[in-house]
Amino acid sequence: MEVKNLRVNGQRLKFTLEMMAKIGATAGGGVHRLALSDEDKQARGLFLEWLKEIDLVVTVDEMGNIFGKRDGKRPNLPTVLTGSHIDSQPQGGRFDGILGVMGALEVLRTIHENHIETERPVMIVNWTNEEGTRFPPAMVGSGVWAGKLDRDWVYDQADIQGKKLGGELERIGYKGQQPARKWPVHAYYELHIEQGPILEKEGKRVGVPKGILGLNWYDVYIEGKANQVGPTPMEGRNDALCTAAEMILKVNELPMRMGGNMVATVGEIHNFPNSRNIIPGRVHFTVDIRSWDDDLCLRAWEELKKDFGRISEKWGCPVKLVETWRIEHAPFDEKLVKRVGETAKYLGFSTHFMVSGAGHDASYVNQVAPTAMIFVPSIGGRSHVEVENTKGEDCEAGANVLLHCVLQSALER
Ligand SMILES: [Zn+2]
């Protein structure tokens, strides 16, 4: 078959996605498959079986990143890499991450069964702990591989029960031998659901992101004074939760105040001791600020710090601020972005140029190799929730765009 007429098998892709969705399936139709959990282990096992079925050479590195390699005519040329992540959010969806891995698998199956000879090796990857929900921060597998995060520091990150990432990697049997270190990559493509409402609203099939927003994570710790709610008068209270409430609204108002393209969110809050008859004595919450403009994010944080200082003083509740994690905005490789758009058009799909508001492994890979992503619509723009959904034909469309982008890069001499 002529290469330009190749298409993925949409039914098979749908079936593999369904098989994966059974691992960690939730009652609400979603998936709970946290990084390095038993479910993650089970999904990795199935993934490995599928890689071996199509004769890929499998390696697992010391971060548990799984690679499957299919050689080209010139095995020494830099590889074409494609994939995403198998782990999910708690009570998350059936498409986030896994579509990019199963889409890449479908691409390799198609290349394999049609005996296509590429010039360059093609590799599939599953990056460890993209979500960062059990072990913050996010995208550590690709981050260490790209040389942007320290391996031992990542090993030392603990989940809420105090279990370390390194230990859990060993427990599930995925602490590999190979160093997690980048090698020359000719092109990296990641297929992903949009996780937002734009494609659906625009009525477009394939999203072509020019890059990923800069992302800034902070942790806020407020110290109040716990006391019995009945006998303690309103006056003079040091209520840590009220302090937090005022601060949280400031975060929400931030994008409006700063102008420019920005989103700011408090998504996690812990109130102690969390009892209806005790004045909150301690609160911890997170702040997430994103924009294409890295400086705007930093200026926004400076503004926020001033607000937090004022609010903290007003309530007599000292506040501690921790700058947890920061990744600058990631403009993708122009040539590859153009290729994604043109390939989608050639295949007859409508396209929409956009930016990615969500972080992806592509952020880190982009720092060391030419990178692009392919987005497909999320129904209702919903993601990181059980109702997350993408039409079968859209998954297939995305996989076909991925197939032809990978082939074009892999056929380059
Ligand atoms: Zn994802």
DSSP result, 117-157:
PPSS-EEEEE-S-SS-SSSSSS-HHHHHHTTSS-HHHHHT-
Q: What is the pLDDT of residue 283?
A: 98
State the distance from the centre of ligand 1 to the C-alpha of 30, rounded, in angstroms. Answer: 14
pLDDT along the chain (413 residues), means of 10: 93 98 96 98 98 98 98 97 97 96 98 97 98 94 97 96 98 97 98 96 97 95 96 96 98 94 95 97 97 96 98 98 92 98 98 94 96 97 92 97 98 95
State the distance from the centre of ligand 1 to the C-alpha of 303, rounded, in angstroms. Answer: 30
Q: Return the number of other C-beta atoms located less than 10 Å from residue 370's C-beta.
A: 19
State the distance from the centre of ligand 1 to the C-alpha of 209, rounded, in angstroms. Answer: 14
Q: What is the pLDDT of residue 260?
A: 78
State the distance from the centre of ligand 1 to the C-alpha of 248, rounded, in angstroms. Answer: 26
Q: What is the pLDDT of residue 144?
A: 98
Contact 54, 114 (CB under 8 A): no
State the distance from the centre of ligand 1 to the C-alpha of 25, rounded, in angstroms. Answer: 17
Q: What is the pLDDT of residue 35?
A: 98
Could you tell me the CA-to-CA distances from 211 to 2, 82, 201, 341 in Å, in that order?
32, 16, 20, 13
Cα–Cα distance, 283 to 210 (Å, whole number):
38
State the distance from the centre of ligand 1 to the C-alpha of 61, rounded, in angstroms. Answer: 20
Q: What is the pLDDT of residue 46?
A: 98
State the distance from the centre of ligand 1 to the C-alpha of 192, rounded, in angstroms. Answer: 7
Contact 289, 237 (CB under 8 A): no
pTM of the model: 0.89
State the distance from the centre of ligand 1 to the C-alpha of 381, rounded, in angstroms. Answer: 14
DSSP secondary structure code for residue 278 in this structure: B
State the distance from the centre of ligand 1 to the C-alpha of 296, rounded, in angstroms. Answer: 25
State the distance from the centre of ligand 1 to the C-alpha of 97, rounded, in angstroms. Answer: 4
Q: What is the pLDDT of residue 202?
A: 96
Q: What is the pLDDT of residue 76?
A: 95
Q: Return the number of other C-beta atoms located less than 10 Å from residue 225's C-beta.
A: 16
State the distance from the centre of ligand 1 to the C-alpha of 179, rounded, in angstroms. Answer: 24
State the distance from the centre of ligand 1 to the C-alpha of 226, rounded, in angstroms. Answer: 39
Q: What is the pLDDT of residue 351?
A: 98
State the distance from the centre of ligand 1 to the C-alpha of 360, rounded, in angstroms. Answer: 6
State the distance from the centre of ligand 1 to the C-alpha of 243, rounded, in angstroms. Answer: 33
State the distance from the centre of ligand 1 to the C-alpha of 119, rounded, in angstroms. Answer: 30
